[in-house]
């Protein structure tokens, strides 16, 4: 809680109130009340030398009715004189001469004079019809005989109680002392009696009243019956040297006065009163009022002291502090009275303190009120700004608060639902439509939950029937005594979170580019399909599909085009399969498909063909028509394998085989493929070692003129002598070397070997023919072929026009400018270029015209049936004509028969290569052939 601020204004106000009360004396009665109590509580000692001689009932009985003769009084006085009393206060008014005894007055006057220490009263009398009072003096002869005369006016407070006396009273311009004071003065000659000295006698009528601390127990003042003092010497002796006061106590005689100590007893007789005043004077006990400035100061100081308790933060301790200061105020008044005989009126200070406390309490209440209001407002603001819906109920589960979010979620406004149960407003089900189960929140309330979070997401059905995914937290509100006051229900809208988590799941399980399931999801689906197939005893097929030459598209058109194409392919793929089937992207240009419920390989084949056909239609990407094909490997469940991993591996193997067989087709897995694959892998391993092991050898196949008379060239053809498998043909390993990249070192080795051989022949004088070397597309495009050729030509001092490089049409489809650049550079070194297997590719004639090439080689396939197939013959003829027109030389390869040779002898061909003349020959065989030619032995 915020600290309660000390208020200076309330202190100032309280001080003013205190001052005002002090000035106005408004609380006089309260002061008197406290004073009386203080007096009653005080225990003063009684002066032992004061003796009251009472004109009591006993004396009246024995001495007769009052008034007694003055002779009698004279006799008593004489007796007192005989024991030398200290002073005699004779509170009997002798205002007139005694009747009937002319001697009596004289005798008494003499007795008074003899004693010399007698004080006589000056009795007050109210003047008729005025408030003025006059004093009735004793007879002059008595007054003259007396030691002193004192007035006996008793000062009554408003409540007719005697608390103080005027020690001085003005009469006829002369200040009279109070009777008891006069006695005190008479018996105390040594003290310089203050008289009225120092007082400005002119201006006062009465001196300041002096309060008398009356003594409670009357028995303490010594008393003797008048008659005893008069007639009994034992009593008389007790009066020796004492202060003697004589007066009336018998009932019916003399006035009686109530004092603070006589509340419950008979009022005090005048005699007693004088005795007590004398006692106070003798003991120096008379009480003076604290002077005004000091009274003010002390009152205010105590209020200030009380204000200190304001700074105590705990209200109860503060209250105790305030009470302590109140008590302290009263106690200090009591102590002041007892110790220094000064009366401090505490009432105004007490009132000031109470007023301060009241102000303070009011302020505290106001502060607490404001604080609570502010807290309430803050809490409301907080509740309104939290993102969760908050609904609070009372202990019985009836709604008593709802924040705006809860209003929005439920569709109800708070005013509509106040006092309803949670169940009526927060309609929760756990689960989606079909499995939905009503969730009893109200029941939950009464089931004594201590605090609960419903872990699973629930669905809130709002007023309009919409379903919102929520998470529920419920807590009991307990008061500080641990008693249940209600419940708080927090409703978090988690639909967005759910949405995000669904998106995340989608991201984690789908390919971002194509939107197809990824490997993770595919494998999950595969498992499900297989499990279902096992239960149903049905079958399934798995396709492993790889795009043919996708890399070319990426390389030539850029990755954006490649991505675009993949998206289109994904769409076509999906259009080819049923909803029970799944297609997924495996990665890169690989896709996989599961077909469920496949009972025959035939149905799988149909789908594969459908996919193949669908993808053979051109795709329009970046305004270009793109052609693409798939190589599809298929494995079947349960025929090929039962396990997911095996099925995937077999489909992959089948696809690998399809690739090797020439792409754009599908193929089923079979155990033989496995064998084939294994062999290929083994072969690949061996191929890595082949150069180092010097297992390669170059054969040369001669090319003759049309008549077989002149050797026009030799084609270098690579041979691999495997240490275990023996001779392996290039058809079996060139493709593999191409795929693995091994073709590059192998190809380099071939060219170097050929150059070495050409040098050797040249040294032996064998010249006049070209030597052709086959270049793989990879070798042509990925190595610095022009430079390495130049290097070799220089190294082996090979003359121009001997070496010829054979490239295939597939090289030409790539970046044609680069190709032309490479070709030009090669030719500038005196190396000629032939296009091998011409007619099998799709090179455009227009392109051909601009290419820096020298020769076309007509492919074997046209040669084989050239004599029987008119189509093949036409193609062969066309190629030859084309070559002639473009001024390119033309070589026919694969000529095996005389018929075939005869066909070509009709055309302008530059070379014939084939088994008809020679198979590829070893170097030794070529050497002997060359030697024979030299010797003029013709073929
Ligand atoms: P290619 O360049 O078309 O070579 C001609 C192929 O036809 C040779 O097969 C040759 O033996 C064969 N041949 C020649 N005359 C006849 C005939 O009358 N009838 C039949 N049926 N075949 C004939 P080979 O030597 O098995 O080479 C096969 C292929 O391997 C070559 O086809 C060539 O593309 C490739 N090749 C061979 N050596 C190399 C090489 O060093 N580097 C590269 N990159 N490829 C090579
Ligand atoms: Ca060739
Ligand atoms: Ca060829």
**HEC profile of 715-736:** EEEEEEEECCCEEECHHHHHHH
Cα angle, residue 708 at apex, residues 707 and 712 outer, rounded to 5° = 110
Q: Where in the chain is the domain with CATH 3.30.450.20?
A: 383-499
Atom of ligand 1 nearest to the CA of 775: 44
pLDDT at residue number 866: 92
Residues 6+ apart with CB under 8 A from 244: 51, 53, 80, 85, 86, 87, 88, 89
Tell how far the Cα of 806 is from the centroid of ligand 2, in angstroms: 6
Closest atom of ligand 1 to 747 CA is: 42
- Report the share of the chain in percent with pLDDT over 70: 94
> d(Cα 123, Cα 133) in Å, to the nearest integer?
10
Q: Greater confidence, 264 or 751?
A: 751
Distance, CA of 831 to CA of 804 (rounded, Å) = 6
Q: Which of 891, 894, 920, 931 is nearest to 908 (CA)?
A: 891
Residue owning the nearest CA to atom 22 of ligand 1: 894
Pick the CATH number of 383-499 from 1.10.287.90, 3.30.450.20, 3.20.20.70, 2.10.10.90: 3.30.450.20
CA distance 507 to 504: 5
Q: What is the pLDDT of residues 431-487, one digit of tens each?
A: 655 455 556 666 665 555 544 555 667 888 888 988 888 888 888 888 888 888 888
Confidence of residue 2 (pLDDT cuts 50, 70, 90): low
Ligand in nearest proximity to the CA of 858: 3
Q: Supply the DSSP symbol for 139.
A: P
Residues with CB under 5 A from ligand 3 (ion): 836-837
pLDDT at 473: 83
Q: Which of 71-80, 213-222, 373-382, 756-765 has the lowest mean pLDDT?
A: 213-222
Q: Is the pLDDT of residue 644 over 60?
A: yes
Residue located nearest, by CA, to atom 13 of ligand 1 = 894
How distant is the alpha carbon of residue 927 from its chain centre?
A: 92
Q: What is the pLDDT of residues 811-839, one digit of tens each?
A: 876 678 888 999 999 999 999 999 999 88
Residue 845 has pLDDT above 80, yes or no: no
Q: Where are the beta strands (DSSP E) in 479-514?
A: 484-493
Give the per-residue pLDDT at 528: 94
Closest ligand 1 atom to 837 CA? 3
Summarize pLDDT for 361-399 with one digit per residue, the tens.
888 888 889 999 999 899 888 888 888 899 998 888 889
With a cut of 60, say whether residue 621 has pLDDT above it.
yes
- Nearest protein Cα to ligand 1, atom 10: 920
* Structure tokens belonging to residue 476: 């009991």
pLDDT at 570: 95
Give the torsion sign (CA, 866, 869, 875, 877).
positive
CATH classification of 518-669, choosing from 3.30.70.270, 3.40.50.1220, 1.10.1740.10, 1.10.10.10?
A: 3.30.70.270
Cβ atoms of residues 907 and 866 within 8 Å: no
**Ligand 3 centroid – CA 891 distance (Å):** 10
| 467 sits in which H/E element | strand 467-478
Helices (runs of H) and strands (runs of E) counted in the chain: 35, 39
pLDDT band per the 50, 70, 90 thresholds, residue 52: very high
Contact 605, 636 (CB under 8 A): no
| Among 890, 932, 925, residue whose Cα is nearest residue 698 | 925
Return the ∠ at Cα 636 (arms to 632 and 638), rounded to 5°: 165
Instruction: Give 153 or 127, the one with higher predicted confidence.
Output: 153
C-alpha 912 – ligand 1 centre gap (Å): 14
Least confident of 101-105, 262-266, 741-745, 855-859: 262-266
The ligand whose atoms approach the alpha carbon of 806 most closely is: 2
485-528 pLDDT, tens per residue? 888 888 888 888 888 988 998 989 999 999 999 999 999 999 99
Convert the pLDDT of each residue in 521-569 to its tens digit. Answer: 999 999 999 999 999 999 999 999 999 989 888 887 889 999 999 999 9
> Degrees (nearest 5) of the Cα angle 874, 877, 878?
85
Atom of ligand 1 nearest to the CA of 893: 15
pLDDT band per the 50, 70, 90 thresholds, residue 649 = very high
Lowest-pLDDT range, 295-309, 453-467, 706-720? Answer: 453-467
Rounded to whole angstroms, how far apart are CA atoms 635 and 655?
A: 10
**Ligand 2 center to 858 CA (angstroms):** 10
Residue minimizing CA distance to atom 19 of ligand 1: 894
Q: What is the mean pLDDT of residues 780-806?
A: 92
Share of the chain above pLDDT 90, in %: 49
Give the residue from 305, 311, 345, 346 showing the smallest Cα distance to 325: 305
List, in sequence order, every residue forming a beta bridge with 438; answer none if it has no partner.
429
Indicate if the pLDDT at residue 285 is higher than 70. Answer: yes
Among candidate residues 117, 332, 59, 400, the one with its CA nearest the CA of residue 243: 117
418 DSSP assignment: T
The radius of gyration of the chain from alpha carbons, rounded to an integer in Å, stands at 71
* Predicted pLDDT of residue 423: 80
**pLDDT value of position 593:** 96
Please tell me the distance from the alpha carbon of residue 146 to that of residue 117, in angstroms, as a whole number: 7
**Residue 698 alpha carbon, nearest atom of ligand 1:** 41
Are the beta carbons of 163 and 345 closer than 8 angstroms? no
Q: Give the single-character DSSP code of 434.
A: G
382 CB burial (10 A radius; 0-12, 13-18, 19+) = exposed
Compare 7 and 533 and report the one with higher pLDDT: 533
According to the 3-state scheme, what is the secondary structure of 808-860?
EHHHHCCCHHHHHHHHHHHHCCCCEEEEEEECCCCCCHHHHHHCCCCEEEECH
Query: Which of 698, 716, 727, 734, when mutated, tests ligand 1's pocket best, judged by the most ligand atoms within 8 Å of its CB?
Result: 734
Q: Is the pLDDT of residue 679 over 70?
A: yes
User: What's the gap in Å between 308 CA and the centre of ligand 2?
Assistant: 116
Q: What is the distance in A from the centroid of ligand 3 to the CA of 837?
A: 4
Total residue length of the chain: 939
Name the residue among 901, 934, 905 with its Cα closest to residue 915. 901
CB 807 within 8 A of CB 833: yes
Q: How many angstroms separate the CA atoms of 495 and 214, rounded?
A: 91
Which residue has its alpha carbon closest to ligand 1 atom 27?
730
Q: Residue 197 pLDDT more than 50?
A: no
Q: DSSP secondary structure string, 281-339?
A: HHTT--BEEPPHHHHHHHHHHHHHHHHHGGG-SSHHHHHHHHHHHHHHHHHHHHHHHHH
Distance 838 CA to ligand 3 centre (A): 8
Residue nearest to atom 24 of ligand 1 (CA): 730
For residue 842, what pLDDT band results from cuts at 50, 70 and 90? low
Q: Is omega for the bond preceding 619 within 30 degrees of 0, making it cis?
A: no
Residue 198's pLDDT is 47
The C-alpha atoms of residue 97 and residue 57 are separated, in whole angstroms, by 25
Ligand 2 centre distance from Cα of residue 836 (Å)? 6
Every domain of the chain with CATH number 3.20.20.450 lies at 691-855+921-933
- What is the overall mean pLDDT for the chain? 88
Structure tokens given for 246: 């004589």
pLDDT at 810: 81
Q: Is the pLDDT of residue 204 over 80?
A: no
> How far, in Å, from the CA of 657 to the mean position of ligand 2?
25
Write out pLDDT tens, residues 167-196: 888 777 778 889 998 898 888 765 555 554
CATH class of 691-855+921-933: alpha beta
Scan for tokens 């061996």, then name that residue. Answer: 686
Mean pLDDT of 571-585: 94
Residue with the two structure tokens 């030799």: 714
Å from CA of 440 to ligand 1 middle:
85
Could you tell me the two tokens for 778? 């990879």
pLDDT of 414 > 50? The answer is yes
* Ligand 1 atom closest to 895 (CA): 18
SS3 401: strand
| pLDDT at residue 228, as a whole number | 92
User: The whole model's pTM is what?
Assistant: 0.50
What is the structure's pLDDT at 109?
Answer: 92
* Ligand 1 environment, Cβ below 6 A: 701, 716-718, 729-731, 734, 747, 750, 774-776, 836-837, 860, 893-896, 913-915, 920
User: Where does CATH 3.30.70.270 sit in the chain?
Assistant: 518-669
**Over 80: is that where the pLDDT of 939 sits?**
no
CA of 724 to the centre of ligand 1 (A): 23
The pLDDT assigned to 469 comes to 87
Residue whose Cα lies nearest atom 16 of ligand 1: it is 894
Contact 858, 882 (CB under 8 A): no
Is 293 or 937 the better-scoring residue by pLDDT?
Answer: 293
Q: Which residue has the higher pLDDT, 5 or 470?
A: 470
Mutation test of ligand 1: which of 730, 775, 806 has the most ligand atoms closer than 8 Å to its C-beta? 730
- Which residue(s) pair with 621 in the sheet? 624
> How many Å lie between the centroid of ligand 3 and the Cα of residue 702?
13
Ligand nearest to the CA of 775: 1
> 421 pLDDT exceeds 50?
yes
Measured CA distances, 153 to 93, 150, 171, 178 (Å): 13, 9, 12, 8
């Amino acid at each position: 809680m915020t600290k309660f601020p000390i208020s200076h204004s309330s202190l100032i106000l309280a001080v003013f109130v205190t001052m005002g009360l002090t000035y106005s004396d408004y609380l006089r009665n309260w002061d008197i009340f406290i004073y009386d109590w203080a007096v009653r509580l005080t225990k003063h000692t009684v002066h032992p030398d004061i003796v009251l001689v009472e004109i009591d009932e006993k004396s009246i009985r024995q001495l007769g009715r009052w008034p007694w003769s003055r002779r009698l009084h004279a006799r008593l006085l004489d007796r007192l004189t005989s024991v030398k009393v200290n002073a005699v206060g004779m509170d009997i008014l002798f205002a007139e001469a005694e009747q009937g005894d002319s001697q009596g007055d004289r005798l008494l006057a003499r007795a008074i004079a003899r004693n010399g220490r007698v004080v006589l009263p000056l009795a007050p009398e109210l003047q008729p019809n005025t408030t003025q009072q006059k004093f009735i003096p004793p007879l002059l002869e008595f007054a003259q005989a007396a030691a002193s005369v004192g007035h006996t006016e008793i000062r009554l407070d408003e409540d007719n109680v005697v608390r103080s006396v005027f020690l001085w009273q003005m009469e006829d311009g002369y200040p009279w002392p109070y009777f008891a004071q006069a006695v005190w003065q008479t018996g105390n000659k040594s003290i310089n009696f203050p008289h009225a000295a120092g007082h400005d006698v002119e201006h006062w009528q009465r001196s300041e009243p002096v309060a008398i601390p009356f003594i409670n127990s009357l028995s303490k003042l010594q008393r003797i019956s008048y008659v005893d003092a008069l007639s009994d010497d034992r009593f008389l002796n007790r009066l020796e040297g004492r202060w003697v006061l004589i007066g009336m106590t018998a009932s019916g005689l003399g006035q009686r006065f109530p004092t603070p100590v006589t509340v419950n007893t008979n009022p005090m007789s005048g005699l007693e009163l004088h005795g007590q005043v004398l006692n106070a004077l003798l003991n120096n006990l008379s009480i003076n009022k604290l002077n005004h400035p000091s009274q003010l100061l002390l009152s205010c100081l105590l209020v200030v002291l009380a204000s200190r308790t304001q700074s105590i933060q705990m209200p109860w301790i503060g209250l105790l502090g305030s009470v302590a200061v109140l008590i302290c105020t009263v106690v200090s008044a009591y102590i002041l009275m007892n110790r220094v005989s000064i009366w401090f009126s505490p009432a105004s200070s007490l009132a000031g303190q109470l007023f301060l406390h009241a102000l303070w309490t009011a302020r505290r209440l106001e502060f607490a009120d404001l604080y609570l209001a502010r807290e309430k407002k803050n809490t409301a603001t907080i509740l309104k700004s939290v993102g969760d819906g908050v609904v609070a109920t009372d202990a019985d589960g009836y709604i008593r608060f709802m924040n705006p979010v809860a209003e929005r979620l439920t569709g109800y406004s708070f005013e509509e639902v106040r006092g309803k149960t949670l169940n009526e407003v927060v309609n929760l089900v756990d689960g989606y439509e079909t499995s939905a189960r009503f969730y009893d929140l109200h029941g939950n309330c009464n089931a004594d939950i201590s605090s609960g979070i419903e872990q699973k997401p629930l669905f809130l059905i709002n007023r309009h029937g919409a379903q919102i995914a929520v998470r529920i937290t419920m807590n009991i509100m307990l008061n500080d005594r641990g008693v249940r006051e209600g419940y708080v229900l927090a409703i978090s809208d988690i639909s967005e979170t759910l949405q995000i988590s669904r998106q995340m799941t989608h991201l984690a399980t789908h390919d971002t580019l194509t939107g197809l399931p990824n490997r993770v999801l595919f494998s999950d689906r595969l498992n499900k399909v297989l499990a279902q197939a096992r239960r149903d005893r049905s079958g399934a097929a798995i396709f492993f599909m790889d795009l043919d030459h996708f890399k070319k598209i990426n390389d030539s058109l850029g990755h954006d085009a490649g991505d675009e194409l993949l998206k289109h392919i994904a769409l076509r793929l999906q259009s080819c399969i049923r909803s029970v089937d799944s297609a997924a992207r495996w990665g890169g240009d690989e896709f996989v498909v599961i077909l469920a419920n496949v009972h025959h390989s035939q149905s799988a084949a149909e789908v594969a063909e459908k996919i193949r056909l669908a993808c053979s239609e051109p795709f329009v990407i970046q305004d270009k028509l793109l052609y693409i094909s798939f190589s599809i490997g298929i494995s079947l469940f349960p025929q090929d394998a039962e396990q997911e991993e095996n099925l995937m591996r077999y489909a992959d193997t089948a696809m690998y085989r399809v690739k090797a067989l020439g792409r754009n087709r599908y193929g089923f897995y079979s155990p033989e493929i496995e064998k084939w694959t294994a062999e290929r892998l083994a072969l690949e391993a061996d191929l890595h070692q082949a150069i180092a092991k010097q297992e390669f050898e170059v054969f040369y196949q001669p090319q003759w003129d049309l008549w077989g008379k002149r050797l026009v060239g030799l084609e270098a053809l690579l041979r691999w002598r495997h240490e275990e498998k023996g001779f392996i043909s290039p058809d079996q390993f060139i493709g593999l070397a191409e795929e693995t990249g091994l073709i590059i070192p192998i190809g380099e080795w071939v060219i170097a070997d050929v150059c070495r051989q050409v040098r050797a022949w040249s040294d032996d004088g064998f010249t006049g023919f070209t030597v052709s070397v086959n270049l793989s597309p990879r070798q042509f495009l990925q190595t610095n072929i022009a430079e390495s050729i130049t290097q070799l030509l220089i190294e082996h001092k090979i003359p121009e026009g001997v070496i010829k490089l054979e490239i295939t049409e597939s090289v030409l489809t790539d970046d044609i400018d680069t190709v032309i650049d490479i070709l030009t550079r090669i030719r500038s070194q005196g190396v000629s270029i032939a296009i091998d297997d011409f007619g099998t590719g799709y090179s455009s004639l227009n392109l051909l015209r601009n290419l820096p090439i020298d020769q076309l080689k007509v492919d074997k396939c046209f040669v084989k049936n050239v004599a029987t197939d008119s189509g093949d013959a036409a193609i062969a003829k066309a190629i030859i004509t084309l070559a002639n027109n473009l001024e390119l030389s033309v070589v026919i390869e694969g000529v095996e028969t005389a018929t075939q040779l005869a066909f070509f002898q009709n055309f302008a061909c530059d070379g014939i290569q084939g088994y008809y003349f020679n198979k590829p020959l070893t170097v030794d065989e070529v050497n002997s052939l060359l030697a024979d030619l030299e010797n003029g032995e013709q073929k």
